[in-house]
Amino acid sequence: MVTANLFREGMARLGAAVAIVTTDGPAGRRGLTVSAVCSVTDSPPSLMVCINRASRSHPVVLANGVLCVNVLNGGHEPLSQAFAGRRAPDADPFLGEDWRTLATGAPALASAAAAFDCRIKLAREIGTHSAILCEVEAMTVGSDADALVYFNRRFHHLPWEASA
């Protein structure tokens, strides 16, 4: 039998890129740190984000119908901690960074390794999370930088190496 603890232990060994998912619109401006993002297809450009339904950002993201997946680089570890709620409860994690908007109005981090500005096409509840399928309406790709990944319950920085 696969227990929740055993499953989490196995998933801790699956490294994942760290991103901040942001949204803005009639339901408000919110953001959260995630590591469950994957591409779906490039025609049309689409991705999937999984968000815990207990997150305060979850209902805001769904109500706004838009989100931006901001892929973080190694220098963004403090920012990822802020959006994970590891600052003072009243602190605004958006402060101190350069945020822009692309097509949907969701905040895009100017210094992100990549920012995928998306409109939500489908959301399905699966256990504790919602799997959210999004179509990318606009995006940016930043300069080469170390990647921020989460592996074995810790952040790690992977150096950028240009391909030969």
Give per-residue pLDDT as tens, 104-143. 999 999 999 999 999 999 999 999 999 999 999 999 999 7
Give per-residue pLDDT as tens, 88-99. 667 789 998 999
Would you say 35 and 52 are in contact if contact means Cβ atoms under 8 Å apart? no
The whole-number pLDDT of residue 162 equals 62
Distances (CA, A) of 9 to 5, 49, 95: 6, 21, 34
Q: Fold for 15-157, please state it.
A: Pnp Oxidase; Chain A (2.30.110)
Which residues make beta-bridge pairs with 133?
A: 48, 122
pTM of the model: 0.92
Give per-residue pLDDT as tens, 46-59. 999 999 999 999 99
Would you say 153 and 135 are in contact if contact means Cβ atoms under 8 Å apart? no
Whether 164 has a pLDDT exceeding 60, the answer reads: no
- Exposure letters 50-82 (e unless 16+ CB within 10 A, then b): bbeeebebbebbbebbbbbbbbbbbebeebbeb
Tell me the pLDDT band of 146, cut-offs 50, 70 and 90.
Answer: confident
Average pLDDT over every residue of 11-24: 92
The whole-number pLDDT of residue 20 equals 98
